[in-house]
Amino acid sequence: MTAMKSRLENFSSTLEDIIDKVGQPLKPFIPVLARFLIVATFLEDSLRISMQWGEQRSFMEQRRGFPPGLSHAFLSLNVIVMLCGSFMVISKRHQELAVYGLLGVVISQALGYGLLFDVSFFLRNLSVMGGLVMVLSDSIVRRRQMFAALPQVSETNKRTYLQLAGRILLIFLFAGSAFHGDWSFARAMVSLLGLMACLMVAVGFKVKYSAIFLVLVLSISNILINNFWSVSHNPFRRDFLKYDFFQTLSTVGGFLLLVSVGPGGYSFDEKKKDY
């Protein structure tokens, strides 16, 4: 038993070294790519609302009962906040304000479009919110670096809680989608490994490598399942797939930022460093 445990630890260590070596050239670009992907769904949504303005207003007024003026204000405000918030996240300016604004958009759209009790929508948006929470935790890290000489106890606790919340929220998209669709042996194995990786992310054990695995799985499945570019005969189906595609991209961005920022204090990875 001891010999087998030792071999597994050696194999794990070797695999981690290989991943670190292969990923080293990409390391400087990960935070930038992560931030862009996190807001990808907001950029796409603002563009879609702008290009389908008439249809969006008709839906809000006829299906949701919004008065004409209120529907116009609701859609306009959503587009403005999504565009401004996205560019602030990417450029790392006023990140807290941007995150709060984008979180407000997620909640307001769930209420405005009547999707609050749609389980798939709810789980996906929890993961999108997880990516935004990771951005918020990263902004606190940077602020602590700017004011390193001042007492930062409360800020440190806040960052730690946000990193924990971000980790847990991120896994909901995969956990919710793992049980949908046709089953095969390969899919069952990927789902099982993915759920194990989700659990590892949630508890903060080998977070970097678990998150990288989920990035790969979500990216491949996103291309294979949400291939909206191949759907031309059904505009409604294409828009639905496009929406899922960009929301998954945002979740991938959240996992990439988790790789860059780290799991935070409430994790097995950080506790191991204390010993």
Closest CA to 241 of 265, 221, 271, 212: 221
How confident is the model over 19-32, as a mean pLDDT?
A: 72
Residue type, 14: T
Which of the four pLDDT bands, split at 50, 70 and 90, describes residue 36? very high
Angle in degrees, CA 260, 265, 171, rounded to 5: 60
Q: Within a domain: residue 8?
A: no
**DSSP H/E element including 263:** none
User: What is the C-alpha to C-alpha distance for residues 52 and 189, in angstroms, rounded to an integer?
Assistant: 40
Q: Within a domain: residue 225?
A: yes
- Which pLDDT score is estimated for 13? 61
Higher pLDDT, 243 or 270: 243
pLDDT at 185 over 90: no
Q: Within a domain: residue 12?
A: no
- Which pLDDT score is estimated for 188? 83
* Token pair in block for residue 139: 């902004």
Higher pLDDT, 24 or 171: 171
- Which pLDDT score is estimated for 266? 78
- Which pLDDT score is estimated for 104? 96
Which of the four pLDDT bands, split at 50, 70 and 90, describes residue 1? low
Q: Within a domain: residue 6?
A: no
Question: Concatenated DSSP letters for 61-95?
Answer: IIIS---HHHHHHHHHHHHHHHHHHHHHHHHTSSH
Q: Within a domain: residue 19?
A: no
Q: Within a domain: residue 78?
A: yes
Q: Within a domain: residue 11?
A: no
pLDDT digits (tens, 9 = 90+) for 63-76: 899 998 999 999 99
pLDDT digits (tens, 9 = 90+) for 202-217: 988 888 889 999 999 9
pLDDT at 84 over 80: yes
- Which pLDDT score is estimated for 187? 78
Q: What pTM value is reported for the model? A: 0.86
User: What is the C-alpha to C-alpha distance for residues 34 and 131, in angstroms, rounded to an integer?
Assistant: 9
Q: Is 149 left (phi over 0), alpha (psi -120 to 50) or beta?
A: alpha
Task: Measure the CA dihedral 223/226/232/238, to 10°.
Answer: -150
pLDDT at 152 over 50: no
- Which pLDDT score is estimated for 140? 78
Q: How far is CA 95 from CA 92, 139, 207, 216, in A?
A: 6, 6, 24, 27
Full residue range of the structural domain in which residue 165 is found: 33-273
Which of the four pLDDT bands, split at 50, 70 and 90, describes residue 4? low
Mean pLDDT score across all residues of the chain: 84
User: How many independent structural domains does the chain possess?
Assistant: 1
Question: Concatenated DSSP letters for 223-250?
Answer: HHH--GGG--S-HHHHHHHHHHHHHHHH
- Which pLDDT score is estimated for 126? 93
Q: Within a domain: residue 142?
A: yes
